[in-house]
Structure 1
Amino acid sequence: MRRFLDKLYLVSGGLAAVFTVGVLIAVTMSIVTRQLGVHIGGLDAYAGYSMAAAGFLALAHTFKSSEHIRVSLVLAALPDKGRMRLDIFALLVGCLITATLCWFSIKLAMDSYTYNDVSTGNDATPLWIPQIAMAVGTVIFFIAVVDETIRRIKGIPEAGHGEEARYE
């Protein structure tokens, strides 16, 4: 299971990188075609969709790589047991927040599909298509937060923080 989850986070990060390149391509094409006097409708929208997909798909990989911004000043001042308890509490709150984000992003994509919402731009893209990346990204992020919470409850220190994350 550990290998599967680590691979899931890595694939999610890889997809985020692909969508980041998609932003680059869409913006570059927009600039070049504007200079050539050619109009390709929807390039700005697709750059935005790619940027949103990259951001949401990167959440889990970034979290599991310990790259999210974290204020550890209070944690560092606590004894080991207090640090562990506060960290687990924060992760449990994170589980609630990510579960809510997950629920509403899935609901948004399903509602857009149900009501046939389309973008207001020239591209008229069905909005559920780019919203799938947001829903998938939040689901994987939720899995990552739950995974980290379970690991922390078992006493496994956070990967990437070495000694400061140990609770002995």
Structure 2
Amino acid sequence: MSTADPRHSVFPEWLRKGLDALYLGAGYLGGIFLVAIFVIMLSLSAGRPLGIDIPAGDDFTAWCMAACAFLALAHTFRSAELIRMGLVIDRLNGRARHIVEIACTAIGTVAVSYFAWYAIDMTWTSWKFNDVSQGVIAVKLWIPQMAMAVGLALLALAFADELIHVLFGGSPRYEKPPVSNDEELIERIMESGA
């Protein structure tokens, strides 16, 4: 395994900054949809006693929830916050671990790219056939489906980005380094919200 700096990127600095900004921007957009869920749910709860009804409020909440989840995936992956099962890989060291990291990242890239392809195809088909929702308010389905397609495409890009990084000898950036002391352990526990 190469001893390359794990922060080093094989991409030019402008591209690395652009990709990181893209992932972060999608994460912020996911956060905006999280706030939208809160506002809609609060409006639905507060409106009931006042006799105010928000048409299709449940539909909009569900679409915002999907947008929140999918748009934040790439940023969550790059921030080493996705749940990762390391039962086998954590027992490996050196070249064996590096090879398994490459294999896992390649499999993840292929799997996420497959889902992204079909999400984009579904969104395109909905746009092409002018599909609309069946709720109280007719919404063109490609609009809420777009968040899933974009989120999965960005996650596929993030996986491919990481695969290239690991292939060229970098340490995976999607995992946090081991805890070195008790204070760091406590800080990580507080950051995770556990």
- Displacement, 1:73? 2.0
Name the structure 1 match of 2:159.
145
Moved more, 3-12 or 35-44: 35-44
Identity of aligned residues (%): 37
- Displacement, 1:163? 5.6
Structure 2 residue 38 is matched with structure 1 residue 43:
no
Give 1 or 2: higher helix fraction: 1
TM-score (norm 2): 0.81
**Structure 1 unmatched ranges of 5 or more:** none
Name the SS of the counterpart of 1:67 in structure 2. coil
AA partner of residue 177 (structure 2): G
The runs of at least 4 consecutive aligned structure 1 residues that moved more than 2 Å come to none
**Structure 2 unmatched ranges of 5 or more:** 1-14, 180-194
TM-score (norm 1): 0.93
Name the structure 2 match of 1:107.
121
What CA deviation, in whole Å up to 9, does each residue of 1:76-107 have, x standing for no partner? 21231111111110111111111111111101
How large is the Cα RMSD of the aligned pairs? 1.3
Return the alpha-carbon distance in structure 2 between the equivalents of residues 153 and 163 of structure 1.
Answer: 22
Aligned residue runs from structure 1 range 1-168, under 5 A: 1-159=15-173, 161-162=176-177
What CA deviation, in whole Å up to 9, does each residue of 1:28-67 have, x standing for no partner? 1111111211222111111111100000001000000011
Return the alpha-carbon distance in structure 2 between the equivalents of residues 141 and 130 of structure 1.
Answer: 18
- Across the two proteins, how many residue pairs are aligned to each other? 164
